[in-house]
Amino acid sequence: MENSDDVAKYRNDILNYQIEIRKKQFTIERWIIFFGVLTLGGFLFLIFSIRDATLTGFVVGEGEANLYGLMILGIFLVVWGFLLLQWFIVHKNNPKM
């Protein structure tokens, strides 16, 4: 009888471990999607600000500051999102590194 109790406890431990792994994988996937969207948003900011700059011919005026602001924001979002994405993938998949 002891043996069957040990087997049942072992199976329960395995199931609990599998549930914990699935929860962690879901969290990791959600953060990867978030950082990927952040990076993609930065690319879109950058592309549209460059498109607007080429359409207006870099006209000096009030819109120029907004244009350069969008370019800087786009570059920041691309770099920051990509670095966070890489950091998260490396450290969450290999926590001992």
Q: Is the dihedral of CA 74, 75, 76, 78 positive or negative?
A: positive
Residue 49, pLDDT score: 72
Residue 60, pLDDT score: 54
3-state SS of 43-97 is: HHHHHHHHHHHHHHCCCCCHHHHHHHHHHHHHHHHHHHHHHHHHHHHHHHHCCCC
Residue 56, pLDDT score: 60
Residue 85, pLDDT score: 76
Residue 94, pLDDT score: 63
Please state the domain extents for the chain.
2-93
Average pLDDT along the chain, 97 residues, taken 10 residues at a time? 75 86 75 78 76 62 65 79 76 60
Residue 55, pLDDT score: 63
